[in-house]
Amino acid sequence: MNCPYCGILFSLDGVNADHSFPKFSSFHPYRRVPSKSDNTTTDDLAKKYSITSHRCPDCKKPIMWLNEIEGDLGAEERKIISTTLLFPKFPVKQIPIEIPEKFAVDFREAHDTLSVSAKASAALSRRCLQNLIREQEGITEKTLFSEVDKLIKSNKLPKHLAKDLDSIRQIGNFAAHPMKDTNTGEIVEVELGEAEWTLEVLETLLLFYFVEEPKSSARRDALNKKLKEYGKGPML
């Protein structure tokens, strides 16, 4: 499993975990006396699921999983067929502190929403992408398609990143969904894999603008300072 906080891969066999069975009581909290009209046995249902709680072996933060169990109740060996994260509700996306909060908030929301609604996640990613292009490059056009096109033609991005950015328009099929282009935050139907790809490219762009490019600039400045000390011209 991967820790939903720090992302490390680990096995439950190697951690001190607590395993328990949930209790599905028929008791109603607003009744003074539990109802006896429900003849359904809840014990069998409870034993089809288990709850595992433990701390991450690396970051030590608490995690809780719901496990669906397959096999006869009386069998000695039963196996877990699916696991659902209960706590935290979503895996915590770690992003560098260099990324401004206004972009980090939208990116995290798009990331957390992906497992619930691909349409909502894609809308948040498109809006964040458009805001990023407008603020970082000063490009403002009537459509996101045109803004992406202008950024690509400026040759400011590495070739691989420019190609990834261009593919957002193709995968998203902007021609068939004009609202994605003119109203980027609109929640509309998405193509297969569109939300995941848009989020991934957005993350790469955020890292480029706020992490990689500043580090590269700092390296060039340091080198030019040394060149100047030796009486040489700056590196272009």
Counted residue by residue, the chain has a size of: 236
Model confidence pLDDT, tens digit, residues 141-192: 988 999 999 999 999 999 999 999 999 988 887 766 777 778 777 777 888 8
What was the pLDDT predicted at 215? 77
Residue with tokens 């193709």: 170
User: What would the DSSP string read from start to end of 33-48?
Assistant: S--S------HHHHTT
- Provide the pLDDT confidence category of residue 39 given band limits of 50, 70 and 90: very low
Question: 139 or 176: whose pLDDT is higher?
Answer: 139
CB within 8 Å of 118: residues ≥ 6 apart: 190, 194, 195, 196
Helix, strand and coil content of the chain, in percent to the nearest 5, comes to 45, 15, 45
Q: What is the largest CA-CA distance in the chain?
A: 93
Name the residue ranges covered by the structural domains of the chain: 12-87, 101-228
CB 219 within 8 Å of CB 235: no
- Provide the pLDDT confidence category of residue 40 given band limits of 50, 70 and 90: very low
Residue 70 backbone dihedrals phi, psi, to 5 degrees = -110, 140
What was the pLDDT predicted at 30? 56
Q: Which candidate, 151, 112, 105, places its Cα nearest to that of 128?
A: 105
Rounded to an integer, what distance in angstroms lies between the CA atom of residue 132 and that of residue 55?
Answer: 37
- Provide the pLDDT confidence category of residue 230 given band limits of 50, 70 and 90: low
Conformational region of residue 180, where left means phi above 0, alpha means psi within -120 to 50, and beta covers everything else: alpha
- Provide the pLDDT confidence category of residue 50 given band limits of 50, 70 and 90: confident
Q: Is the pLDDT of residue 38 over 60?
A: no
Rounded to an integer, what distance in angstroms lies between the CA atom of residue 202 and that of residue 189?
Answer: 19
- Provide the pLDDT confidence category of residue 98 given band limits of 50, 70 and 90: very high
Rounded to an integer, what distance in angstroms lies between the CA atom of residue 173 and that of residue 70?
Answer: 41
What mean pLDDT do residues 106-124 have? 91
Share of the chain above pLDDT 90, in %: 33
What mean pLDDT do residues 9-31 have? 72
Rounded to an integer, what distance in angstroms lies between the CA atom of residue 214 and that of residue 136?
Answer: 13
Rounded to an integer, what distance in angstroms lies between the CA atom of residue 147 and that of residue 38?
Answer: 61
What mean pLDDT do residues 125-131 have? 94
